Amino acid sequence: MSRSRRAWIGTSWKMNKTRAEAVAYLAELREWSGTSSLDVDVAIFPPFTALATAAAQLTPARRAPSADRPGPSLHLGAQNMHWQANGAQTGEISVTMLLDCGVSIVELGHYERRQHYGETDYSVNLKASAAITAGLQTVICVGDSEQDRQYAVAPEVVARQVKVAARGIPSHALASVVLAYEPAWAIGTGGQQAEPAEVEAIHRVIRTALRQSHGPQGAERVRVVYGGSVDAASADRYATQTTVDGLFVGRSGLTATGLIGVIEEFCAAAPDAASELVFLEGSAHDSC
Ligand code: PGA
Protein backbone atom coordinates (compact mmCIF):
# COMPACT_ATOMS: atom_id res chain seq x y z
CA MET A 1 0.00 0.00 0.00
CA SER A 2 1.45 3.41 -0.84
CA ARG A 3 1.12 6.71 0.92
CA SER A 4 -0.50 9.77 -0.58
CA ARG A 5 1.27 12.30 1.64
CA ARG A 6 4.82 13.56 1.35
CA ALA A 7 7.19 12.33 4.04
CA TRP A 8 7.89 14.76 6.88
CA ILE A 9 10.81 14.51 9.29
CA GLY A 10 11.35 17.09 12.02
CA THR A 11 13.67 17.59 14.94
CA SER A 12 13.38 19.84 17.95
CA TRP A 13 16.63 20.88 19.53
CA LYS A 14 14.70 21.63 22.73
CA MET A 15 16.92 23.74 25.05
CA ASN A 16 20.14 23.05 23.19
CA LYS A 17 22.57 24.89 20.91
CA THR A 18 24.07 28.33 20.71
CA ARG A 19 23.92 30.36 17.51
CA ALA A 20 27.38 29.19 16.49
CA GLU A 21 26.36 25.57 16.97
CA ALA A 22 23.22 26.20 14.93
CA VAL A 23 25.31 27.60 12.07
CA ALA A 24 27.60 24.56 11.99
CA TYR A 25 24.69 22.12 12.10
CA LEU A 26 22.68 23.86 9.38
CA ALA A 27 25.71 24.19 7.10
CA GLU A 28 26.07 20.41 7.22
CA LEU A 29 22.35 19.87 6.65
CA ARG A 30 22.29 22.31 3.75
CA GLU A 31 25.20 20.60 2.08
CA TRP A 32 23.43 17.26 2.36
CA SER A 33 20.12 18.64 1.08
CA GLY A 34 21.85 20.12 -1.96
CA THR A 35 22.98 16.68 -3.07
CA SER A 36 20.11 14.49 -1.88
CA SER A 37 17.21 13.64 -4.18
CA LEU A 38 14.88 12.50 -1.42
CA ASP A 39 11.51 14.21 -1.66
CA VAL A 40 10.97 14.88 1.98
CA ASP A 41 10.03 17.88 4.10
CA VAL A 42 12.62 18.44 6.81
CA ALA A 43 11.79 20.81 9.68
CA ILE A 44 14.29 22.05 12.27
CA PHE A 45 13.09 23.58 15.54
CA PRO A 46 15.94 25.54 17.17
CA PRO A 47 15.50 27.50 20.42
CA PHE A 48 14.10 31.02 19.95
CA THR A 49 17.53 32.58 20.43
CA ALA A 50 18.88 30.83 17.32
CA LEU A 51 15.89 31.36 15.00
CA ALA A 52 17.10 34.44 13.15
CA THR A 53 20.58 32.94 12.75
CA ALA A 54 19.07 29.69 11.52
CA ALA A 55 16.85 31.52 9.03
CA ALA A 56 19.90 33.21 7.53
CA GLN A 57 21.60 29.83 7.19
CA LEU A 58 18.63 28.23 5.49
CA THR A 59 17.76 31.04 3.09
CA PRO A 60 20.35 30.20 0.42
CA ALA A 61 19.04 26.63 0.32
CA ARG A 62 15.42 27.64 -0.28
CA ARG A 63 13.93 26.03 -3.33
CA ALA A 64 10.68 24.34 -4.13
CA PRO A 65 10.73 20.62 -4.80
CA SER A 66 9.69 19.84 -8.33
CA ALA A 67 9.34 16.80 -10.52
CA ASP A 68 12.54 17.61 -12.45
CA ARG A 69 14.56 18.67 -9.40
CA PRO A 70 13.43 16.52 -6.49
CA GLY A 71 15.09 16.92 -3.15
CA PRO A 72 14.52 17.66 0.50
CA SER A 73 13.00 21.00 1.44
CA LEU A 74 14.16 22.55 4.70
CA HIS A 75 11.75 24.39 6.95
CA LEU A 76 12.44 26.52 10.00
CA GLY A 77 10.29 25.86 13.05
CA ALA A 78 9.76 27.32 16.51
CA GLN A 79 9.10 25.25 19.61
CA ASN A 80 6.16 27.26 20.95
CA MET A 81 4.21 30.51 20.61
CA HIS A 82 1.49 32.48 22.37
CA TRP A 83 -1.89 32.82 20.69
CA GLN A 84 -2.15 36.59 21.19
CA ALA A 85 -0.63 38.91 18.61
CA ASN A 86 1.07 41.07 21.26
CA GLY A 87 0.55 42.35 24.78
CA ALA A 88 1.54 41.94 28.42
CA GLN A 89 2.74 38.33 28.25
CA THR A 90 6.15 38.32 29.88
CA GLY A 91 8.49 35.75 28.42
CA GLU A 92 6.20 34.78 25.56
CA ILE A 93 6.64 34.96 21.78
CA SER A 94 3.91 35.84 19.27
CA VAL A 95 3.22 34.52 15.81
CA THR A 96 4.16 37.91 14.35
CA MET A 97 7.58 37.61 15.96
CA LEU A 98 8.05 34.12 14.58
CA LEU A 99 7.13 35.23 11.07
CA ASP A 100 9.53 38.13 11.48
CA CYS A 101 12.32 35.62 12.18
CA GLY A 102 11.59 33.59 9.05
CA VAL A 103 9.77 30.76 10.80
CA SER A 104 7.31 28.74 8.70
CA ILE A 105 6.17 26.07 11.16
CA VAL A 106 5.49 25.97 14.91
CA GLU A 107 5.46 23.06 17.33
CA LEU A 108 2.59 23.02 19.80
CA GLY A 109 1.63 20.88 22.78
CA HIS A 110 4.79 18.83 23.21
CA TYR A 111 4.55 16.51 26.19
CA GLU A 112 7.26 18.42 28.06
CA ARG A 113 5.28 21.64 27.74
CA ARG A 114 2.06 19.94 28.79
CA GLN A 115 3.78 18.31 31.75
CA HIS A 116 5.96 21.15 33.04
CA TYR A 117 4.52 24.40 31.69
CA GLY A 118 0.77 24.00 32.01
CA GLU A 119 -0.01 23.53 28.31
CA THR A 120 -3.54 22.16 27.87
CA ASP A 121 -5.56 20.86 24.94
CA TYR A 122 -7.41 24.18 24.97
CA SER A 123 -4.30 26.36 24.88
CA VAL A 124 -2.95 24.17 22.09
CA ASN A 125 -6.16 24.82 20.17
CA LEU A 126 -5.89 28.60 20.66
CA LYS A 127 -2.28 28.51 19.50
CA ALA A 128 -3.01 26.28 16.50
CA SER A 129 -5.85 28.54 15.36
CA ALA A 130 -3.71 31.67 15.69
CA ALA A 131 -0.78 30.04 13.88
CA ILE A 132 -2.88 28.80 10.98
CA THR A 133 -4.73 32.10 10.62
CA ALA A 134 -1.34 33.81 10.34
CA GLY A 135 -0.15 31.35 7.68
CA LEU A 136 2.16 29.15 9.76
CA GLN A 137 2.18 25.39 9.49
CA THR A 138 1.80 23.59 12.80
CA VAL A 139 3.04 20.40 14.38
CA ILE A 140 0.52 19.47 17.02
CA CYS A 141 1.88 16.94 19.51
CA VAL A 142 -0.45 14.50 21.23
CA GLY A 143 0.25 11.45 23.33
CA ASP A 144 -0.69 9.20 26.19
CA SER A 145 1.06 8.97 29.57
CA GLU A 146 2.43 5.81 31.13
CA GLN A 147 -0.68 5.71 33.31
CA ASP A 148 -3.05 6.12 30.36
CA ARG A 149 -1.31 3.17 28.78
CA GLN A 150 -1.55 1.03 31.93
CA TYR A 151 -5.26 1.78 32.22
CA ALA A 152 -5.75 1.07 28.50
CA VAL A 153 -7.29 4.48 27.78
CA ALA A 154 -4.66 5.74 25.31
CA PRO A 155 -7.10 5.76 22.36
CA GLU A 156 -9.66 7.93 24.20
CA VAL A 157 -6.99 10.26 25.56
CA VAL A 158 -5.35 10.80 22.19
CA ALA A 159 -8.65 11.15 20.29
CA ARG A 160 -9.73 13.84 22.75
CA GLN A 161 -6.45 15.73 22.39
CA VAL A 162 -6.77 15.65 18.60
CA LYS A 163 -10.38 16.81 18.56
CA VAL A 164 -9.82 19.69 20.97
CA ALA A 165 -6.60 20.82 19.28
CA ALA A 166 -8.09 20.75 15.78
CA ARG A 167 -11.42 22.32 16.67
CA GLY A 168 -12.32 25.25 14.41
CA ILE A 169 -9.41 24.73 12.04
CA PRO A 170 -10.90 24.89 8.53
CA SER A 171 -10.76 21.61 6.72
CA HIS A 172 -8.72 23.03 3.82
CA ALA A 173 -6.10 24.28 6.29
CA LEU A 174 -5.42 20.79 7.60
CA ALA A 175 -2.89 20.37 4.80
CA SER A 176 -0.61 22.59 6.83
CA VAL A 177 -1.03 20.53 10.00
CA VAL A 178 1.28 17.72 11.08
CA LEU A 179 -0.05 15.59 13.95
CA ALA A 180 2.79 14.05 15.96
CA TYR A 181 2.04 11.06 18.15
CA GLU A 182 4.43 11.37 21.08
CA PRO A 183 3.73 8.83 23.82
CA ALA A 184 5.17 10.26 27.04
CA TRP A 185 6.41 6.82 28.04
CA ALA A 186 8.62 6.59 24.97
CA ILE A 187 10.28 10.01 25.27
CA GLY A 188 13.62 10.73 26.91
CA THR A 189 16.48 8.69 28.28
CA GLY A 190 14.25 6.38 30.38
CA GLY A 191 11.70 5.87 27.61
CA GLN A 192 10.60 2.50 26.27
CA GLN A 193 10.62 1.86 22.55
CA ALA A 194 7.08 1.75 21.16
CA GLU A 195 6.25 -1.25 19.03
CA PRO A 196 5.39 -0.26 15.46
CA ALA A 197 2.01 -2.01 15.81
CA GLU A 198 1.20 0.17 18.84
CA VAL A 199 2.11 3.27 16.87
CA GLU A 200 0.04 2.10 13.92
CA ALA A 201 -3.00 1.55 16.16
CA ILE A 202 -2.83 5.04 17.67
CA HIS A 203 -2.20 6.62 14.28
CA ARG A 204 -5.45 5.04 13.12
CA VAL A 205 -7.17 6.52 16.17
CA ILE A 206 -5.81 9.95 15.23
CA ARG A 207 -7.01 9.65 11.64
CA THR A 208 -10.44 8.46 12.80
CA ALA A 209 -10.74 11.39 15.24
CA LEU A 210 -9.89 13.78 12.40
CA ARG A 211 -12.45 12.12 10.16
CA GLN A 212 -15.07 12.60 12.84
CA SER A 213 -14.18 16.25 13.37
CA HIS A 214 -13.36 17.31 9.80
CA GLY A 215 -14.71 14.67 7.44
CA PRO A 216 -12.76 12.23 5.30
CA GLN A 217 -11.23 14.76 2.93
CA GLY A 218 -9.93 17.00 5.68
CA ALA A 219 -8.55 14.05 7.62
CA GLU A 220 -6.62 12.78 4.60
CA ARG A 221 -4.74 16.08 4.32
CA VAL A 222 -3.04 15.80 7.72
CA ARG A 223 0.34 14.15 8.01
CA VAL A 224 0.50 11.93 11.06
CA VAL A 225 4.04 11.29 12.26
CA TYR A 226 5.59 9.32 15.08
CA GLY A 227 7.55 11.23 17.70
CA GLY A 228 8.72 8.87 20.41
CA SER A 229 12.44 8.25 20.64
CA VAL A 230 13.60 7.25 17.18
CA ASP A 231 17.09 7.09 15.72
CA ALA A 232 18.67 5.90 12.49
CA ALA A 233 18.67 2.32 13.76
CA SER A 234 14.92 2.26 14.49
CA ALA A 235 13.54 4.63 11.81
CA ASP A 236 12.88 1.84 9.32
CA ARG A 237 10.68 -0.04 11.82
CA TYR A 238 8.20 2.81 11.77
CA ALA A 239 8.63 3.67 8.11
CA THR A 240 7.14 0.38 7.03
CA GLN A 241 3.86 1.22 8.79
CA THR A 242 1.62 2.80 6.19
CA THR A 243 -0.02 5.06 8.78
CA VAL A 244 3.31 6.73 9.61
CA ASP A 245 3.93 9.74 7.34
CA GLY A 246 7.17 10.67 9.02
CA LEU A 247 9.02 11.16 12.29
CA PHE A 248 9.58 13.87 14.86
CA VAL A 249 12.86 13.19 16.61
CA GLY A 250 14.63 14.52 19.69
CA ARG A 251 18.11 13.46 20.78
CA SER A 252 18.99 11.65 17.58
CA GLY A 253 18.50 14.91 15.67
CA LEU A 254 20.89 16.88 17.84
CA THR A 255 23.62 16.32 15.28
CA ALA A 256 23.10 16.88 11.56
CA THR A 257 24.62 13.47 10.91
CA GLY A 258 22.11 11.87 13.26
CA LEU A 259 19.18 13.61 11.61
CA ILE A 260 20.37 12.77 8.10
CA GLY A 261 20.69 9.14 9.16
CA VAL A 262 17.07 9.11 10.36
CA ILE A 263 15.83 10.74 7.14
CA GLU A 264 17.73 8.37 4.88
CA GLU A 265 16.70 5.26 6.79
CA PHE A 266 13.06 6.34 6.89
CA CYS A 267 12.92 7.16 3.19
CA ALA A 268 14.76 4.00 2.19
CA ALA A 269 12.27 1.85 4.09
CA ALA A 270 9.25 3.84 2.90
CA PRO A 271 10.04 4.60 -0.74
CA ASP A 272 6.45 5.42 -1.53
CA ALA A 273 6.45 8.15 1.08
CA ALA A 274 9.34 9.83 -0.67
CA SER A 275 8.22 9.36 -4.22
CA GLU A 276 4.77 10.85 -4.30
CA LEU A 277 4.73 14.63 -4.11
CA VAL A 278 1.64 16.25 -2.71
CA PHE A 279 1.78 20.01 -2.97
CA LEU A 280 0.18 21.42 0.10
CA GLU A 281 -1.99 24.46 0.34
CA GLY A 282 -0.99 27.69 2.02
CA SER A 283 2.63 28.09 3.05
CA ALA A 284 3.29 24.39 3.29
CA HIS A 285 5.84 24.34 0.51
CA ASP A 286 7.82 27.46 1.08
CA SER A 287 10.70 25.12 0.77
CA CYS A 288 14.20 26.14 1.49
P1 PGA B 1 13.87 11.94 22.44
O2 PGA B 1 12.71 13.00 22.28
O3 PGA B 1 14.15 11.39 21.07
O4 PGA B 1 15.01 12.69 22.99
O5 PGA B 1 13.37 10.89 23.36
C6 PGA B 1 11.61 12.66 21.55
C7 PGA B 1 10.65 13.82 21.52
O8 PGA B 1 10.57 14.60 22.47
O9 PGA B 1 9.98 13.96 20.51
Beta strands 73-78 and 7-12, pairing class: unpaired
Give the position, in ligand 1's atom list, of the atom nearest the Cα of 180.
Answer: 9
Ligand 1 centre from 187 Cα, in Å? 5
- How do residues 43-75 score in pLDDT, each as one tens digit? 999 999 999 999 999 986 554 556 566 899 999
Strands in 143-262 per DSSP E: 177-181, 223-226, 246-249
- Mean local confidence (pLDDT), 32-46: 95
Q: Looking at 107, 112, 119, 182, which residue is catalytic? A: 182
Beta strands 105-108 and 40-45, pairing class: unpaired
176 φ, ψ (degrees, to nearest 5): -100, 20
Among the listed residues 53, 54, 47, 98, the one whose alpha carbon sits nearest the alpha carbon of residue 74? 54
Cα–Cα dist 244/256, whole Å: 22
Is residue 266 exposed (0-12), middle (13-18) or buried (19+ Cβ within 10 Å)?
buried
Give the position, in ligand 1's atom list, of the atom nearest the Cα of 141.
Answer: 9
Quote the pTM value. 0.91
CB 279 within 8 Å of CB 175: no
Range with the lowest mean pLDDT among 22-31, 163-172, 263-272?
263-272
Handedness of CA 51, 56, 57, 58 (dihedral sign): positive
Ligand 1 centre from 112 Cα, in Å? 10
- How do residues 88-117 score in pLDDT, each as one tens digit? 999 999 999 999 999 999 999 999 999 999
Protein residues whose CB sits closer than 6 Å to any atom of ligand 1:
182, 187-188, 191, 227, 229, 248-252
- How do residues 261-273 score in pLDDT, each as one tens digit? 999 999 999 856 4
| pLDDT band per the 50, 70, 90 thresholds, residue 153 | very high
Catalytic-residue membership of 110: yes
- How do residues 115-138 score in pLDDT, each as one tens digit? 999 999 999 999 999 999 999 999
- How do residues 210-231 score in pLDDT, each as one tens digit? 999 999 999 999 999 999 999 9
Give the position, in ligand 1's atom list, of the atom nearest the Cα of 186.
Answer: 5
Q: Residue 150: pLDDT above 50?
A: yes
pLDDT of residue 281: 35
Q: Looking at 75, 110, 203, 285, which residue is catalytic? A: 110
CB 250 within 8 Å of CB 12: yes
pLDDT of residue 280: 37
Catalytic-residue membership of 203: no
Percentage of the chain beyond pLDDT 90 is 84
**DSSP designation for 176:** G
